[in-house]
Homo-oligomer: A and B are copies of this chain.
Amino acid sequence: MNKDLYVALKSLNLKATPKRLAILDILVAESVYLAPEEVWRKMRKRFKSIGLPTIYRNLEDLANGGVLIKIIHPDRKLYYYLCANADHHHHFICINCKKVEDLSYCGAEEIEKEVKKNLKGRVISHLMQVFGLCKDCSVSRTIAT
């Protein structure tokens, strides 16, 4: 189990329960975003008894603590993704295979400038997500179902 994650849990005052660690373990192994129900299915292979509310609660707590990022998907369902990159950045999300890749580009400064100058408003946060087909998915024309 990843040492950094252990430390992260500590600093969030979250106990290192077997279930919580397993959820993280599942997400670490994936480079795709997962719905709570998908995490649940994977968890059921490891635990004989595991409730869906436990999955929801943990994913949300971990996202609030910054350990996971929440994907704001056009389908409006919940998805979570464990991103190792701690700096501010955005993501390219493959809508076919659900792989997530980091983007370095972020227009925060330009946005800030425009909002301040033209709208006389104040930026609190910005959301940017790019959807598309990753390298593999745009080469093979096979679309996952």
Contact = CB atoms under 8 A, between A and B. Distances in A.
Interface of A: 70, 72, 74, 76-78, 92, 94-95, 101, 103-107, 110-111, 114-115, 118-135, 137-138
B107 A134 contact: no
A43 to B, nearest CB: 23
Contact of A132 (B72, B124, B131, B135): B124
* Total identical chains: 2
Given A72-B74, A76-B78, A115-B130, A92 B121 contact: yes
Given A123-B131, A123-B132, A127-B130, 12 more contacts: A72-B72, A72-B76, A92-B121, A103-B115, A107-B110, A107-B128, A119-B134, A121-B137, A122-B132, A122-B133, A124-B133, A127-B131
Contacts of A121: 92, 94, 101, 132-135, 137-138
